[in-house]
Amino acid sequence: MEVTLLGTGDTTGTPTIACDCDTCERARDPDAALRERLADRGVDATDGVERSRFSVYVTNDTTGESLLVDVSPDFRHQFLRAGVPLPDAAVVTHVHFDHLDGLGNAYRLFDDLPVHAADETDPVTGESVAEAIGSRYDYLDTVSVHPHTPSEPFEVAGFEVTLVPVTHPPLLCYGLRIEEPDSGAVLAMSGDTCYEVPDRSREALSGADLALVEGLVHAEACEFHPKGGAHHDDEGVPRTFGTKHMTLSGARDFAADIEAADYRIVHTAHFVPADRAFDDDIAVDGERFSL
């Protein structure tokens, strides 16, 4: 299994448009030490560091097929930059725009793009993720929507994929377990979630070769959030920011909880101070992993 991180940022990305914070400025013009550290991770930061809107590309070593997880609004830029082929299929975790609204790029690019998503009706929207995609993109004849029951594995692109319920109020959202049957390699993805993930879902995500775990901001940011932090550890450090995202501390604890062999923190915002925003366990666009 080959994993390419196309987009590793939150809803505004890093650098954020028109932002001159220290983190965005360092991303635009990384110092030599940061460029060298990223080069060791296989990332060329000569022209800057990016965390564009979230998307992951997974290639099956056995079949040669590829699967796109979430369809970023930065789709065009991500594919041109990464130089990977168009995917054979896609999975969408939830209906927030930064995970879905790149689907319009299917126009004139694909003969057929199967899109897989949960069939569970969201009490807030009155429709499932699959139904929302079908109604929003009904004008795309090349897109076919394939609904699946959460927690029940299905096959796509030669992988065994499971949609794993997580906690991202007010909408239903799902993490993913992706297994390559021949090699036994497993990629786990927390999806957008707070730290309070159901035990059954934690079990499904456990033991992966690589876990991509959401961590939006540093724990100290909770002090200034109107809803505060939640799910504190024994020392009182918040693991959840507000109600629906993990902090960096929470993400690190979650990766340890699910006993991943390796992990990267994803969906990170530019609010993290510049001296911590590019720690080695926080992903940047362009990282690649062979599992």
Separation of alpha carbons 285 and 81, rounded Å: 10
- Specify the pairing of strand 2-7 against strand 55-59: antiparallel
Contact criterion met (CB below 8 Å) for 187 and 291:
yes
Other beta carbons within 10 Å of 139: 8
Q: Which of 170, 174, 218, 211 is nearest to 192 (CA)?
A: 174
Tell me: the pLDDT tens digits for 167-214? 999 999 999 999 999 999 999 999 999 999 999 999 999 999 999 999
Q: Which of 151, 160, 153 is nearest to 120 (CA)?
A: 151
User: What's residue 224's pLDDT?
Assistant: 85
- Specify the pairing of strand 154-156 against strand 159-165: antiparallel
Establish how many alpha carbons lie within 13 A of residue 108's alpha carbon, considering only the half-sphere containing its beta carbon.
1
Q: Which of 153, 256, 167 is nearest to 208 (CA)?
A: 256
CATH number at residue 197: 3.60.15.10
Q: How many domains does the chain have?
A: 1
Which amino acid belongs to residue 76? R
CA dihedral angle for residue 53, residue 59, residue 60, residue 62, rounded to 10 degrees? 180
Could you tell me the residue range of the domain that residue 141 belongs to? 2-290
- How high is the mean pLDDT in each 10-residue block of the chain (291 residues)? 98 98 98 96 96 98 97 98 98 97 94 97 97 96 97 98 97 98 97 97 98 97 89 96 96 98 98 98 98 97
How does DSSP classify residue 42? T
User: What's residue 227's pLDDT?
Assistant: 83
User: What's residue 225's pLDDT?
Assistant: 86
Contact criterion met (CB below 8 Å) for 237 and 249:
yes
Separation of alpha carbons 42 and 37, rounded Å: 9
Tell me: the pLDDT tens digits for 42-68? 999 999 999 999 999 999 999 999 999
